[in-house]
Amino acid sequence: MDRFLFLTLDGLSRGAVYAAFALSLVLIWRAARIVNFAQGAMAVAAVYVAYSVSTSTGSYWLGFLAAIAAGLLLGTVVDLAVMRFVDHRSPLNPVIVALGLVLLIQAVLGMIYGNEFRPAEPPFSRSARTVGGLAVGSPYDLFVVATVAAVVVALAWTFTRTAIGLRMRASAFAPEVSRLLGVKVGGMLTLGWALASGVGALAGMLIIPTELGLHPHAMDLVFVSAFTAAVVGGLDSPPGAVVGGLLVGLLLSYVSGYAGSDLTPLAVLALLLAVLLVRPAGLFAPVTARQV
Amino acid sequence: MTGGDLLTVRGLVAGYGAGPVLHEIDLTVARGTIAAVVGANGAGKTTLLRALSGTLRPVAGQVVLAGEDLRGTPVEQLVRRGVAHVPEGRGVIGELTVDENLRLGGLWRRDRADARRALDEVYQLFEPLARRRRQHGHQLSGGERQMLALGRALVGRPRLLLLDEPSLGLAPRVVAQTMALLRHLRDSTGLTVLLVEQNVRSALSVADQGVVMSLGRVVHTAPAARLRDDDDLRHAYLGF
């Protein structure tokens, strides 16, 4: 029972990060109809910026802020300098370009920082605490869950309650009509990329200290898990991404706890396959009427 | 400033790549009047509106609004010049609520207080919309979508309203209400309207000026009342 509780808490903490990362994929999908396969590499680049800032200033938090800023900036640059020039008529084009970006970013990171693991220290202890004999997770777990929750609430509020959020949603749903109503659709698209990449950078900052360390490929497996989470949620649905992220986090935690951590990549792919076979539009897609 | 021409179009040529659809269109619309562009399917009516609003970039010609040349104005700047374009199919965003659709129409305005006032006025003008504020666009009936599209354009307090086939897919009663509303807006606020219609009878019943298009050219311009009564012209171009 203790073990189950421990695995559940661990799963929720990992799941929160997957949720954030899945959310960043959903943000870009909704704004630009692109699955950004470069999101993981972009997040790693932002975490390297944090690494540089933290090593030179000695402050984790300055590095944390630098990572978010780098994420926002990188998203802006990728949209304005790369994706804007990609022919979107075939959905494959942006995918290939994104994969090219992955290679480019990882190669550049390797040239600057080298292809070795660098230590990434969490700002809080990662050893689990108990209160009155009940496991409550580690201080770092609490930090992760609270940070992701704050980001989710802030994004939801921005999108549903502010003028800029309304503009962003309108641009995503109906770009031509939005333009006629005076919305600068291109700017909204760039803002979507910046926000998504900022959230991706945050997810990278949160999860890399719980893994082997910082490396140009550090987010590769996380990307697969988060992509699965986004697909489970339906790619189009921000709440779906959050629930999908938590589900994937729990699944991986149980599989690694009860069956061995070697099996987790397999479990993610099995889940992805199952969702694509049974509910290809995701768990949160409206059930369409079926003709008999 | 009252009277005079609000919109002047000279030698407008536009198309979609394989040769022009519009050939040298000349057109003027007087301030505070309703002009109806009528003609058979394929006459170039929708293309004309798209070229006027810049959603389709003209190849040649001038579009002058109150003395200002609109050429090269980005589409998203058009509302700031006072032009509201309600596209064919009306462009209600189904995923947004009625209230969000309407607010979107006024987001570009600096005068936030007046944007709110305009929103309230639209809710008074279209009572059914006020009752369905929180519903999504795709839950509305055809007539309600029409109200929403018109209302959303009015929230921007346009000088010129471009309407593409406002009668499309609507019951005759709703079409009559729409036309009556346009007349009311013209008389009470001095709004200038350019509408294109296949429904010639309704369009000419409300319009001050009729413009007949055929195969991408303006073939006749006359007061709408005279056009209504000219049997030869009706037979030749409008088919009834």
Kindly list the residues from chain B whose CB atom is less than 8 angstroms away from the CB atom of residue A181.
79, 104-105, 107-108, 152, 156
pLDDT of residue A79: 95
Can you tell me the mean pLDDT for B187-197? Answer: 93
Integer-rounded Cα radius of gyration of chain A = 19
Q: Give the separation between CA A37 and CA A63, rounded to whole angstroms.
A: 25
The 10s digit of each residue's pLDDT in B16-58 is 877 889 899 999 999 999 999 998 888 888 899 999 988 888 8
Tell me which DSSP letter residue A288 carries. P
Q: Give the separation between CA B185 and CA B179, rounded to whole angstroms.
A: 10
Q: What are the residue ranges spanned by the domains of chain A? A: 21-219
- Are B156 and B109 spatial neighbours (Cβ–Cβ below 8 Å)? yes
Structure tokens at B134: 């929180």
pLDDT of residue B1: 44
In this prediction, residue B222 has a pLDDT band, given cuts at 50, 70 and 90, of confident
Structure tokens at A39: 């999101």
Can you tell me the mean pLDDT for A7-11? Answer: 91
Integer-rounded Cα radius of gyration of chain B = 17
Position of tokens 């040349």? B69
A87 versus B239: the higher-pLDDT residue is A87
User: From the list A163, A174, A179, which residue is nearest B93 (CB)?
Assistant: A174
Is A177 close to B96, i.e. CB distance below 8 A? no
Q: Give the separation between CA A155 and CA A161, rounded to whole angstroms.
A: 10
Taking every pair of Cα atoms in chain A, the longest distance, rounded to a whole number of angstroms, is 67
Nearest chain A residue to B83, by CA: A180
How far CA B14 is from CA of A120, A139, B24, B48, B196, in Å, comes to 60, 65, 9, 8, 17
Category of A260 on φ-ψ map: left (φ > 0), alpha (ψ -120 to 50) or beta: left
Kindly list the residues from chain B whose CB atom is less than 8 angstroms away from the CB atom of residue A170.
93, 96, 100, 104
Bridge partners, B34 (sequence order): B193
- Are A164 and A158 spatial neighbours (Cβ–Cβ below 8 Å)? yes
Torsion of CA A211, A149, B99, B34, to 10 degrees: -30
Q: Give the separation between CA A214 and CA B220, rounded to whole angstroms.
A: 73
Can you tell me the mean pLDDT for A88-114? Answer: 92
The 10s digit of each residue's pLDDT in A199-249 is 999 999 999 998 878 999 999 989 999 999 999 988 888 999 999 999 999
pLDDT of residue A282: 79
How far CA B53 is from CA of A191, B4, B160, B167, in Å, comes to 26, 21, 11, 20
Q: How close does chain B come to A87, measured CA to CA in Å?
A: 18
Torsion of CA A145, A149, A152, A156, to 10 degrees: 170
What is the model's pTM?
A: 0.89
**Model ipTM value:** 0.90
Is B87 close to A167, i.e. CB distance below 8 A? no
How far CA A238 is from CA of A191, A195, A241, in Å, comes to 17, 13, 5
Q: Give the separation between CA B185 and CA B201, rounded to whole angstroms.
A: 20
* CB atoms inside a 10 Å sphere around CB B19: 9
In this prediction, residue A129 has a pLDDT band, given cuts at 50, 70 and 90, of confident
Highest mean pLDDT among A58-67, B64-73, B221-230: A58-67
Q: Give the separation between CA A221 and CA A241, rounded to whole angstroms.
A: 17
Domains of chain B (ranges plus CATH)? 1-82+162-240 (3.40.50.300), 91-157 (no CATH)
Test mutation, B57, B85, B107, B109, chain A, max A CBs within 10 A: B107
- Are A19 and A148 spatial neighbours (Cβ–Cβ below 8 Å)? yes
pLDDT of residue B121: 94
Q: In A33-138, which ranges are continuous DSSP H helix?
A: 39-57, 60-77, 92-113
Cα A240 versus chain centre, distance: 13
B51 vs A: CB within 8 A = no
In this prediction, residue A292 has a pLDDT band, given cuts at 50, 70 and 90, of very low
